[in-house]
A and B are shown apart, each in its own frame.
Chain A
Amino acid sequence: MNEQEKRTYLEKYQEAKKKGFPFFPDIVFKDAVVSLVVFIVLIALAYFVGAPLEARANPADTTYTPRPEWYFLFLFQLLKYFPGKLEVIGVIVLPTLAILLLFFLPLLDQNPRRHFLKRPVITTAATLAVAGIAFLTVQAVRETPPPAEVTSGDQTAALYAANCAPCHGASITVPPGTNLHQVIAQGKHEGMPAWGADLSTDQIDALAGFILSPGGSQLFTQYCAECHQVPELVASNPLELKRALDEGLTYPPHANAKISDWSAVMSAEERSRLLNFLAAADGERLFATNCSPCHGSSVAFSGSEAELRALISKGGLHLEMPPWQTKLSQTEIETLANYVVDPKAEPSGKNLFDQYCKTCHGERVPTANNLEQARQIIASGRPHQTMPIWGDILTSEQLDALVQYTLQAAQGTSLATGPQLFGTNCAPCHDEFGEGGPNPSLPGDIIPPISSSEFLKTHDDTTLQAIIAQGQPDLGMTPFGTAYGGPLEDTDIEAIVAYMRSWEVNPPAALPPQAQPPASGGTTLSGAEIYAQVCAQCHGLHGEGGSGPALNAPQFQAANTDQDIANTISAGRPSTAMIAWGGFLTSTQIEQLVSFIRTLPSSSASPAVPSFAVDVMPILQVKCVLCHGSLGGWNAASYTSIMTSGNHVPVVIPGDAANSLLAQKLLGTQASGEIMPPSGKLSDSEIQIIVNWINTGALEK
């Protein structure tokens, strides 16, 4: 554009301007109208479409197909045409070039003409660019469909989407015979975490049902969710579930509900899908809910799979017990009867039992109340016990799973080996059900229960496995893993942990051994006594600390108000051995405890005169009362009984420890009998406390 052209343009423009309109209101009015239209469109979009918000960002989700916002789609699509090393062209070169071209357009286009028909190059280029971008955008939309939406309202589907889908994608193929519940709860070696800590049992059951029968969850949402929560129904008794579905309206609990006739609403296939969801085709769970009430934790079955299937599905007239008197001698029957009543009393019965009874009764020795009854049953046999016709009740998938599991369990896998291994390796110290007890390798120590729900909740499988494998040398537990020189393979350890997990539902040891709830006794105990029984075990007799923090430390005393201490006692500390004592102690007792804890710093300063309640009683409580309690003889349970009961009264002569039988027995200077306790001498300091107490007058205070 030369100077002449510039001048001509400006002149023409001035003329056009003169002929034109004032900016306000003529032009502004148009602008306002268009703005209003745009505003209304935006409000309509916000109202009818809304601003979408997908699930929370999940960096672990590698299955998500990202799709950029629509105005970037053309760029996204463009990249697909530049694979590999060419990518940089699509990513950098082309866009940069396009922007530079656009930017310098006024300098590149020196054509003085302005009408678009007079500038064919630019017009064509611009049109082509617009068409190209439109084409690429359309292509992109067609090639990457938007991600499928999660069905709303389906709680289990949401649970699956949040917890499983990130790794497993939309569905999981489960090999038959998998104990799905266990896999979810305990995780797997291949990097699958244990969900047991994060998900409730019900949730895991629901997930198992969902994985095995995804359609069932949808049916549940459609037909049942209005009245039922998922966890309430999953893994319930299949007998009832089946009945509710079959009877529909006439099912008694449904009497007052508006229930459709299920058989009309759902096809048979749908009903079985729903059943598979509610009682997941998970052999162990099915066995536990359906079979174990009669069969115990396992059955011994040596037949073929087909036989077992027939047995389960047809139910049982098969369980007739023959009269053994025709085959066995009188003495053999007698031996067996004795064995059945008390296996320990008649060890020789085991051979007979294995030979004749095991085929039907499995490992589980049937219990008889008395010898007479046992003798009679063995001799004359028993009519069949009816076993439900499971074939009518279970879906075919559930039946398959149950058969698979039963066969496996009968071959002696985890369920059977766990308890056995625990019995030989762990029970000597931890007791039969992990209740704990005196520590044989560390005198004066008490092994806390490992079967309390607190313990099981606060230790995940990995931790338990590590503890078993590596031992706890500080606490006298030797390593059990082969890698650490112990006898157990990894699979053995897993079986033990799996067995321990089976306690979690109904822990055999609810409380630490010394924590007999003082509230239930009805007697009033002082703060000191409660402390000695409940707290001293971890916090030390004088609050000096132990496995729990020191309570007599000035820092502790200063940092906590009475209310803080009371709160901690009442609510406990999550994930520690400090359980919520509020459930066992009354609030008055907690207040007493708090007041007592406040006296700890001063009382521990002068332990010269041992206090009975604080110093002596706890030792006796832990070391003696187990045997010297209500069993007869000397009773170490209370001050009065210590001073007055037993065959050698008085056991304690105040002021004279040398002649007191209690001190003699502890020191090993007694004239007759054994040193006490039988598990080994008390520690010197413990003995010293008791001796001091006797010598200072054996006062009750």
Chain B
Amino acid sequence: MVAKFANWLDERVSWRQVWDAIFLRKVPKVNWFYTLGSATLFVAVNQAVTGILLTLYYVPTPDHAYDSVQYITTQVPAGWLIRGLHHWGVSAMVVLVVLHMLRVIFYGAYKYPREVTWFSGIILLLVVIGFGFTGYLLPWDQKAYWATTVGTRIAGTPPLIGDYLLRILRGGEDLSAVTLARFFGTHVWVLPATLMLLLGIHLYLVIRIGISAVPKKED
């Protein structure tokens, strides 16, 4: 039955070709360090799933942000888990991304022909940092508020443009409802869109070019 349906579908959308290209391709013998990229991808999916769930209850205004987060954590069944996964997922993401990058650096995997993969990877790193920074404010607790105050103030230090930069980040002089709204918007719309685009490029290139082999002494 399943096979019949698979065939029926394949006749129409040729999914086997795609499947073969992605999953049945041969790759050089690699070690466990090569799982770091996939693990990062896994955590990214985790962040997406839990993040989407969080928006079902979260309200990004100073009046409600804190209360709704508290509500999620204490009142909603499994809310603590969803929020816990999202919260710790950030740390896991940062750790894994950095380890993944170090693997690429130490194995020289950024070299020909994978330069573009590397470029997209670096931008992805910045996107991840952006996620961390914008997401940090959202619970609107003391830590969030003051860490973001300091963080945005840092952006305001460069001469000439600093003041403008600060006001763009905060949406005004002070950290306010405007700041919260734009951080939220960036966190759930701008950055995810960027992430998906870059991740698409990144993965396409990885599959197209293939995973680099573990360099031997003579390489």
A interface residue numbers (CB < 8 A to B): 1, 6, 9-10, 12-13, 16-24, 27-28, 30-31, 33-35, 38-39, 41-43, 45-47, 49-59, 61, 64-72, 75-76, 79, 87-88, 91-92, 99, 102-103, 105-107, 109, 112-119, 122-123, 126, 130, 147
Contacts and interface: CB of A to CB of B under 8 A. Distances in A.
Contact of A42 (B32, B92, B175): B92
Given A54-B141, A59-B175, A126-B105, 10 more contacts: A1-B112, A38-B43, A38-B92, A46-B83, A69-B147, A105-B110, A114-B109, A115-B108, A116-B215, A122-B105
A130 B102 contact: yes
A3 B112 CA distance: 11
Interface string B205-219: 000001111011111
Given A115-B217, A117-B217, A43 B85 contact: yes
B141 A55 contact: yes
A18 B112 CA distance: 20
Residue from A57, A92, A117, A147 with most neighbouring chain B CB atoms (10 Å): A57
A66 B105 CA distance: 34
Interface stretch (B3-11, B23-31, B183-191, B196-204): B23-31
Contact of B159 (A53, A56, A72, A88): A88
A51 B73 contact: yes
Nearest to B145: A57
Contacts, number: 232
A243 B6 CA distance: 85
7 contacts: A34-B35, A42-B46, A50-B80, A53-B73, A61-B142, A114-B219, A116-B106
A21 B28 CA distance: 6
Residue from A17, A35, A42 with most neighbouring chain B CB atoms (10 Å): A42
Residue from A20, A28, A75 with most neighbouring chain B CB atoms (10 Å): A20
Interface in B50-103: 62, 66, 69-70, 73, 80-81, 83-92, 94, 96, 102
Given A46-B85, A56-B66, A20 B27 contact: yes
A89 to B, nearest CB: 10
Contacts of B86: 51
Contacts of B105: 105, 122, 126
A17 B34 CA distance: 15
A1 B42 contact: no
Contacts of A103: 119, 122
A487 B161 CA distance: 58
A29 to B, nearest CB: 10
A88 B157 contact: yes
B219 A115 contact: yes
Contacts of A21: 26-27, 29
Contacts of A6: 112-113
A116 B28 contact: no
A123 B174 CA distance: 43
Q: Is the interface of A mostly helix, strand, loop or mixed?
A: helix
A103 B122 CA distance: 6
Contacts of A16: 28-29, 213
Contacts of B210: 13, 17
Contacts of B126: 99
Contacts of B73: 50-51, 53
Given A66-B147, A123-B106, A57 B111 contact: no
A106 B88 contact: no
Contacts of A9: 112
B32 A34 contact: yes
Contacts of B143: 52, 54, 66-67
A52 to B, nearest CB: 8
Contacts of B140: 56-57
A92 B147 contact: no
A41 B107 CA distance: 27
A540 to B, nearest CB: 40
Residue from B23, B84, B92, B211 with most neighbouring chain A CB atoms (10 Å): B84
A266 to B, nearest CB: 34
A68 B136 CA distance: 9
Interface in B99-154: 102, 105-115, 118-119, 122, 126, 129, 132-133, 136, 139-147, 149-151, 154
Contact of A54 (B36, B108, B142): B142
Contact of A53 (B28, B141, B175): B141
Contact of B91 (A70, A88, A126): A70
Contacts of A88: 157-159
Nearest to A126: B105
Nearest to A5: B112
A45 B158 contact: no
Contacts of A65: 146
Given A68-B150, A115-B217, A116-B108, A31 B35 contact: yes
B149 A66 contact: yes
A9 B129 CA distance: 34
Given A20-B26, A59-B175, A126-B105, A53 B122 contact: no
A92 B219 contact: no
Contacts of A57: 62, 66, 140-142, 144-146
B38 interface: yes
